[in-house]
Amino acid sequence: MNAITIGFKNLTRKKIRTTLTVAGIALAVAVLVSLLGFDAGYQKSLSGDIDKLGYHLLVTAKGCPYEAATLILKGGGGLRYMEENIFKRIASDPRVDKITPQLMNSVYNQEGAGGKGAFAMYVGIEHSYLELKPWLKFRWGGWFSGSAADEVIMGYEAAEVEQRKPGDKVFVPGVSKVLTVKGVLKRSGTQDDGVIFLPLATAQNIFELPGKLTGVGVKLKDIGQIADFEESLYNEPGIQVVSLAEVRGTILNLVASARAMAGSVALIAIFVALIGVTNTILVSVFERTREIGVMKALGASSFDVFKIVWSETVIVCALGGLAGVILAISGSGLTAKVIRGMLPYAPQGELVLIKGEFVWMALLAAIVVGLIAGTYPAWRASRMKPVEAIRAGE
């Protein structure tokens, strides 16, 4: 019989104690794997969301966009607008590959949310919007019949909520305007699924914002020119420029802070589990003092005893690691749901992405924890003198 078989048999003698110790390790490993998975998933999803915006830079009106965003999210008007001629100046820059102007407007709907009032959002666009987002395809219908047509194109989910198809009417509350559905987009998995689009000129007309824009999306011919391009717009009055790479970096930095805190919790959990394993095996060694004495009296070397006890801790930690990995993988959907509920902005897509390397890393970490945790109990057991151990155990 080798040390691992004997160690395994020893563990099965105290099933409840072994199970609880394994569960402690499993929880710590599950937290660690979920955390690594969240880090990978969030980065991938966020990058995907930003890439799907279709542009490298976003030019918006100068002011306090935080206030504006809050107004749109929580309800209200008062967005800051920029002049359309700025769009024309940027469009004439030879470094620009594609550019698209947008006008967003939220409208108060007295009858929304069960009569309590709610805001609906509309976005005025030009055909260049689709050129910047070639993945947007029509489910039904097509592009507006004219640049100032009284028509809308609806995102997949917006159409589903409103139960609209081409030819149906859409009532724009607040401005009491009726528009006709010209097209419905296929599901894109982006924010566009929830938007009602209308021709830019129509939006400017019905919302009484002639010559105004809320933003301009810019895609450059050479992504390496982003910094220079931003610099050249720095002195343009009334606007501010946001590089979406910078947006991504800032959000990821923010998430990294949260991740560091969660990582500390995971480390504490692992440390607690390590102490738990050490304690369990040590108690087990003390309970078997006489047995160890007999083993040594019958010829077992100190190293044989050391190997047996060490094997027990490694088995406990390896089993805990395996259980933790299974727990993390099977619970990844729930973890993603909880995170999505807690974060103010969670990107679309798989928020918890558990890669194979995380699984191996976690299992290896569990085994290393086992080796560390088992060293002291194994050393204590191997140092026992046979006669004293047999007497002490009587």
Partner 1 sequence: MKTIRLSFSFIFSVVSLFFCAAAVYAAVGCQLNDPDRDVKKIFPESTGYKSDFVSIKEIGGGGLYQKIEAALGDKFDPVYEAMDVPYSFYKVLKGRETIGYVHGVNQKGVFGGMQLIISTDLAGKIINFYYQKMSSPEAAKFMDKDFTGKFNGLALTDFLKGNIGISDPSKESGEDFRYTLRGVKKNLILLHELELKDNVLGSVKK
272 in helix, strand or coil? Answer: helix
Residues 278-307 that bind partner 1 (CB under 8 A): none
Tell the smallest beta-carbon distance from residue 280 to partner 1 (Å): 42
User: Residue 135, interface with partner 1 (CB under 8 A)?
Assistant: no
| Maximal CA-CA distance, the chain | 100
Integer Cα distance of 258 and 157 in angstroms: 32
User: Residue 127, interface with partner 1 (CB under 8 A)?
Assistant: no
Residues 188-227 that bind partner 1 (CB under 8 A): 190-195, 214-215
Integer Cα distance of 51 and 222 in angstroms: 15
Instruction: Give the phi and the psi of residue 198 in degrees, each rounded to 5.
Output: -140, 160
Integer Cα distance of 357 and 359 in angstroms: 5
Which residue of 110, 145, 301, 330 would you call a contact of partner 1, by CB under 8 A?
A: 110
The nearer residue to partner 1, 14 or 95, going by C-beta atoms, is 95
Interface characters, 316-345, with partner 1 (x: CB under 8 A) = ----------------------------xx
Which residue of 4, 23, 148, 247 would you call a contact of partner 1, by CB under 8 A?
A: 247
- The structure tokens 């104690």 sit at 17
Segment interacting with partner 1, rule: CB under 8 A, options 20-28, 173-181, 203-211, 295-303: 173-181
Which residue of 77, 141, 173, 349 would you call a contact of partner 1, by CB under 8 A?
A: 173
Cα 317 to Cα 19, 130, 309, 325, distances in angstroms: 11, 54, 13, 12
Integer Cα distance of 48 and 30 in angstroms: 26
Full DSSP string of 40-85: HHHHHHHHHHHHTT--SEEEEESS-HHHHHHHHHHS------EEHH
Which residue of 82, 104, 285, 362 would you call a contact of partner 1, by CB under 8 A?
A: 104
User: Residue 176, interface with partner 1 (CB under 8 A)?
Assistant: yes
The nearer residue to partner 1, 193 or 312, going by C-beta atoms, is 193
Interface characters, 42-71, with partner 1 (x: CB under 8 A) = -------x---x----x-x---xxxxxxx-
Q: What angle do CA 190, 195, 196 make, to 5 degrees?
A: 150
Residue 315: closest CA among 258, 277, 359: 277
Which residue of 160, 291, 304, 350 would you call a contact of partner 1, by CB under 8 A?
A: 160
Q: How many residues bind partner 1 (CB under 8 A)?
A: 62
Dihedral sign for Cα atoms in the order 77, 236, 90, 59: negative
The binding site for partner 1 (CB under 8 A) comprises 49, 53, 58, 60, 64-70, 72-73, 104, 109-115, 119-121, 123, 155, 157-158, 160-165, 169-171, 173, 176, 178, 190-195, 214-215, 230-231, 234, 240-242, 246-247, 250-251, 254, 344-345, 348
